[in-house]
Amino acid sequence: MSDLLERLRGRGWRMTAQRRVVAEVLDGDHVHLTADEVHARAADKLPEISRATVYNTLGELVSLGEILEVSTDHRAKRYDPNAHRPHHHLVCARCGAIRDVHPTGNPLTSLPDSERFGFTVEGVEVTYRGVCPSCAAA
Amino acid sequence: MSDLLERLRGRGWRMTAQRRVVAEVLDGDHVHLTADEVHARAADKLPEISRATVYNTLGELVSLGEILEVSTDHRAKRYDPNAHRPHHHLVCARCGAIRDVHPTGNPLTSLPDSERFGFTVEGVEVTYRGVCPSCAAA
DNA sequence: TCCTACAATGGACTCTGTCTAAGTCAAGTA
DNA sequence: TACTTGACTTAGACAGAGTCCATTGTAGGA
Ligand SMILES: [Mn+2]
Ligand SMILES: [Mn+2]
Ligand SMILES: [Zn+2]
Ligand SMILES: [Zn+2]
């Protein structure tokens, strides 16, 4: 985490209390919070932080490649601090729970040239859908 | 298309002018329109059709499995009449153009049991991202 | 310490989609 | 054909998520 703050400082980021608490909230693995969830948690530490600042900071962190935007349900976007190890997502269709997963192989290789229509293909997102154990039990 | 209308009639749908024009708009392959685009095209034929009716009808067609919802950019959902042949999508990062693609193999098999966390996995969506030829030329 | 460019703020605004109450009409019945 | 009825449509209010902007504040360099 302080690694992150160091990297950001090295990139010329002005270090403010707001940016620090947003970065702190986004620490840890398997965290996939919405902007408003980030805002709520940041406001626990810094009550007057505004929603606009949270959105601005999240957008900057995405541009810098420090976090990822994840859209699994067409509701609020989620922000994923696990940006340095490529992964995909497994989503519960009932409760929305999200797990990071690491499929075998490279999904890019499964798209033949004849299916690329002249595009330069740069990336791929895979979203597995299913039912989590606790929803299946209930 | 009249196949579709027949199937719907068989399912007890009351056949209205509004539903007919929405179904007509969604005819054809590689069509991925937003609800408001469907509304605009439907209104060319039936000027007083309301947005609510378009949303209602699209939702019903999705429930019936006649069209698919596609979310590639976290803006408006797109509606895809190609619901009967499984496929995935290739999206231009610059202009948003969407192509249907058919990757080789079954992406479900690339998720090992050890990466399923007890979920019952039922489906998978693959979104390839790249730059289309006309954006690359520009 | 002072300066100033960069950052934070709150509220208005946009976009997408949902909901509701009232009016309309498709299609079954006689 | 005319009647009847519940399914369907409508306009507009409402809501969630996110953006924009004018104003105010401040990090960090001189
Ligand atoms: Mn993740
Ligand atoms: Mn498609
Ligand atoms: Zn669940
Ligand atoms: Zn393009």
- Kindly report, residue by residue over B69-123, the tens digit of the pLDDT: 999 999 999 999 999 999 999 999 999 999 999 999 999 999 999 999 999 999 9
Half-sphere CA count of A94, side-chain side, radius 13 A: 13
Residue B1: pLDDT over 60: no
DSSP A14: -
β-strands B33-34, B68-70 pairing: unpaired
B91-B96-B102 Cα angle (round to 5)? 25
* B88-92 and B120-131 strand pairing: parallel
- Among residues B87, B93, B120, B91, the alpha carbon closest in space to that of A110 is found at B87
Mean pLDDT of A101-123: 97
**What is the C-alpha separation between A62 and A41, in angstroms, rounded?**
19
Rounded CA-CA distance B36/B16 in Å is 20
Residues 6+ apart with CB under 8 A from B136: A118, A120
Query: Any idea which residue has 């999904």 for tokens?
Result: A107
Q: What is the distance, to the nearest Å, from the Cα of residue B78 to the centroid of all Cα atoms in its chain? A: 5
What are the two backbone dihedrals, phi and then psi, of residue A8, each rounded to the nearest 5 degrees? -65, -45
> Where do the DSSP E strands lie in A3-138?
33-34, 68-70, 78-80, 88-92, 98-101, 120-131
Q: Which residues of chain A are within 8 Å of residue B55 when distances are taken between CB atoms?
A: none
Question: Which pLDDT band holds residue B15 (cuts at 50, 70, 90)?
Answer: very high
Mean pLDDT within B49-57:
98
Which tokens sit at B30?
């590689």
Q: How far apart are CA A127 and CA A107, in angstroms?
A: 12
DSSP class of A83: -
> pTM for the complete prediction?
0.93
Q: What is the pLDDT of residues A28-83, one digit of tens each?
A: 778 999 999 999 999 999 999 999 999 999 999 999 999 999 999 999 999 999 99
CA separation, residue A88 to residues A30, A104, B42, B57, B103 (Å): 11, 11, 38, 33, 17
Ligand nearest to the CA of A117: 4
CB contact under 8 A, A105 and B110: yes
Q: Chain A partners of B71 at a C-beta cutoff of 8 Å?
A: 71, 74
Task: Considering only residues 45-84 of chain B, list those whose CB is below 7 Å from strand D.
Answer: 46, 48-53, 56-57, 74
Please name the amino acid found at residue B49.
I
- What would the pLDDT profile of A39-52 be if each residue is shown by its tens digit? 999 999 999 999 99
Domains for chain A: give ranges and CATH numbers: 2-80 (1.10.10.10), 88-137 (3.30.1490.190)
Strands across the sheet containing B68-70:
B33-34, B78-80, B68-70
**Strand D lies under 7 A from the Cβ of residue B34:** no
Closest CA to A84 of A99, A64, A104: A64
